[in-house]
Structure 1
Amino acid sequence: MKRILATTALTASLVMPAFAQDAAAPEATATPEAGTEMAAGGFIQSADPQDVMASDFIGKRVYAMSEEMEYGDEGVAEADAAWEDIGEVSDVILARTGEVEGVIVDIGGFLGIGEKPVALTMDSLNLVADADAPGEYFVTVNSSREALDQAPAFEFTEPAPMEQAEATDGSVATPLEETPGEEVDMAEGEDVTADPMAADPNNTEEMTEMAEAGDNAADEAEAEVTEELAEGEAAVEEAGDEAAQEMAEAGDAVEEAGDEAAQEMAEAGDAVEEAGDEATQEMAEAGDAVEEAGDEAAQEMAEAPAESGSMEEFTRDGYSTVMVTELSSEDLTGLSVYDPNDNRVGEISEVLISSDGVVTDAVIDVGGFLGIGEKPVAISFSGISLQKQAEGDDLRAYVNTTEEQLKSFPEYEDG
């Protein structure tokens, strides 16, 4: 059950209508929010219609407003033209007291690539009611896109350990305290000292024996170390003699290897000269092959269909140009494609993205009937103009190519 009712902390900061920011935030109390029915035992039986569910709040698009605006309780029917979509809510930061400390918004990027998490405080957000959908709302922030792009990225850290829990009587469990040097005789119930010297502080005989044993052990250890040092020096001297002998033998081997290497280099020189002659012959033959291939390529290029012309300056009445970076893959997939005369020539079936996350080409399905017999062709987005209706939601793609010309393009093969 992923649906979470945030009535104590999240609702206190986000509950609608919190659209007007003039009212001061109420102090946090243990009393449930207005409209929330609290059943016996601390359970919430039902919520106020204006309460905000965390599962709905996470994933909401966030719009930046360069200037502060007031919309009142009636809200707006759709996102204001002055707003800029800067990302979506990805998480909510809760204190262990239950209060909402902030909201994490994923800003920037394209198609989920290159996004930066930025944490915003609750008082920087506005919830503007959706006039067409009771209970729905738009999330806005009074800031510019540039300021949000330069904001520091939120760093996720491991949560701090919970404080030691108290017992039901309010006490905290602690280790048992011990008294050093003292034991309790469970049978007699008497205290017995753990220090043997305390029973006989004048036990000088035992102390003398312990001192003599320490001196003997030190003498034996010193004798062993001296003997080991002498043996180590002899081993080092022997190893030095063996190393000198090995170095002399290695010198003879190096001299012999040098003579063999000189012989091999002389033989290799002859082989290189012979290989050079062969390479010269092969390069001459390859030159002839390249020239022939160039002629064939020129012929194929002449016969190949022309690419779609540039649509950089294309405009359509009642529409405005939209950059591809402003749209998602869901917006582009299935989008109808038209020629400059508004004749439908196909539809976009796939968007191609480079390894560094840049949108490069669109795959357009051309021809066919009811999805049967269509031919996929790939066209660079530099040859596509995306037009969005100024007074509506209609979105179209235009190419400077007819349907017949598109059919003559090479068929796109995935992979």
Structure 2
Amino acid sequence: MRCWVSDGADKCVAYLEELMKRFLMTTATAMILGTSAYAQDQSTAFSELTFDAETNINASDFIGMRVYVTENDTSSMTSVAADGEQEWDDIGEINEVVLTRDGNVQAVIVGVGGFIGIGERDVALDMSQIQFVTEEGETDDFFLVVNAAAADVENAPAYERHDMAMDADMETETAMDRPMLTAPMVEREGYETVTPDDLTAEELTGTRVYGPEDEDIGEVSELLLNDDGSMDRAVLDIGGFIGLGEHSIAVSFDELQIVRDADGDVRVYVDSTQETLEAQPEYEG
């Protein structure tokens, strides 16, 4: 059906109504199909899982299990006779499981040696080297066995934990070792001094940093927060050109003066020259 000027107004109105109906039906269909596809994509994050004792192990049960070593080949060992574990050396229990960022089990941490926890040390054991061996007649009972000698366990390097809290303390101590700056007391027409609590992180991040003579010496590139979410320090990128050759330092807000005008323009002042700031210890986040 088409509409020409010579057809008259009634026929053209009917034609336009028909086109509108088709358009609305097409749009509604597309929305329904799109919503279904979206819902299907969103639901893939979760899966239906029924625990199977023959193939699944809860991590909470895995941690605390004993680990045995034997010099016999374990690659084809799937089961052992009752009390067969007495022929192996019990080296300790699993204290921790280490995952990679993509979710794979990289290693298990076994506490070896010692007596009731005294003198014990942790060693990392490659997960791929652990053989799951069931006891004959007991499908739910299994042992964790590794092909190794007792001497290998004694010579295994100790597992060193990465203590993030300790790293943070060391970083704070390093920051406090540097010479503290004195906050300037500048007065600029139309601007008033504010505190970090008066601003949001978005308002502060990216703000230009000026010296006492209004020389542009850098910008606030990052904010370091306390455990409660409050602002602790500001990371300043000093000097450089379009991001090249910048020197980053972390300073406390007591060393800065922050001002803001009625239009919301924020400036950060520091009582130091670019050369002095570049002599400060580099911040490595």
TM superposition score category, shorter chain reference: 0.3 to 0.5
TM-score (norm 2): 0.41
Higher strand residue share: 2
| RCO comparison, higher one (Cα < 8 Å, 6+) | 2
Q: Specify the structure having the higher radius of gyration (Cα).
A: 1
TM-score w.r.t. length of structure 1? 0.29
